């Protein structure tokens, strides 16, 4: 099992797949969006915590900026009907402090805005994770509804490593779409604005 890697990122795709060169060996990892912006760096090398996912037909590596992110990923994939792809989607769309808050307050609507998470899965996440997820101190007020879409989007972008000014510019460029489209679509559109 591989638990941690430190190396140079030699390839990165917008989907979250990256290749990390560790002393001449290229490890392909899939990571939540924004992981590289939050990961520890040492010169041109990056540290990633790794979850090794073994199945009958494949061996996949998932990379995380912190051990806490990896722990939450492992809790998510332990929930029935939540696989690695869905867990990555959750971690890409919601910072772990906000995820913890949503679970602790049974805020199903926030969870079901994540692509791939429907009402039943959101209810299952709350049921399964309420006692397991770490209780984290909130960074700001808890969201109350669709009116908070722009602040949620701003937080998601800054959590991914973008500077606040860049995140604000991307959210402003989306105009009236914010609040009227699903958060996953807004996040993709904002990332397109930020990508040259």
| pLDDT recorded at residue 6 | 95
Domains identified in the chain and CATH numbers: 4-64 (2.40.50.140), 67-129 (1.10.150.20), 146-194 (1.10.8)
pLDDT category at 23 given cuts 50, 70, 90 is: very high
Cβ atoms < 10 Å from Cβ of 63: 29
Strand (E) or helix (H) holding 87: helix 84-93
Spatial separation of the C-alpha atoms in residues 39 and 41, rounded to whole Å = 6
Question: pLDDT tens, 74-94?
Answer: 999 999 888 999 999 899 888
């Amino acid at each position: 099992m591989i638990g941690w890697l430190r190396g140079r990122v030699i390839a990165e795709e917008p989907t979250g797949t990256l290749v990390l060169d560790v002393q001449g060996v290229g490890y392909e990892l899939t990571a939540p969006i924004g992981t590289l912006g939050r990961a520890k760096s040492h010169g041109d090398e990056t540290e990633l915590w790794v979850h090794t996912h073994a199945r009958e037909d494949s061996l996949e590596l998932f990379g995380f900026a912190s051990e806490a992110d990896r722990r939450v990923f492992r809790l998510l994939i332990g929930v029935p009907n939540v696989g690695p792809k869905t867990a990555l989607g959750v971690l890409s769309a919601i910072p772990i402090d906000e995820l913890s808050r949503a679970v602790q307050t049974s805020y199903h609507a926030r969870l079901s805005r994540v692509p791939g998470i429907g009402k039943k899965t959101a209810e299952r996440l709350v049921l399964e994770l309420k006692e397991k997820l770490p209780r984290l101190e909130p960074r700001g007020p808890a969201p109350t509804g669709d009116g908070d879409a722009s602040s949620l989007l701003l937080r998601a972008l800054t959590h991914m490593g973008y500077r606040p000014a860049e995140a604000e510019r991307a959210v402003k460029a989306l105009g009236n779409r914010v609040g009227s489209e699903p958060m996953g679509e807004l996040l993709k559109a904002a990332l397109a604005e930020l990508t040259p």
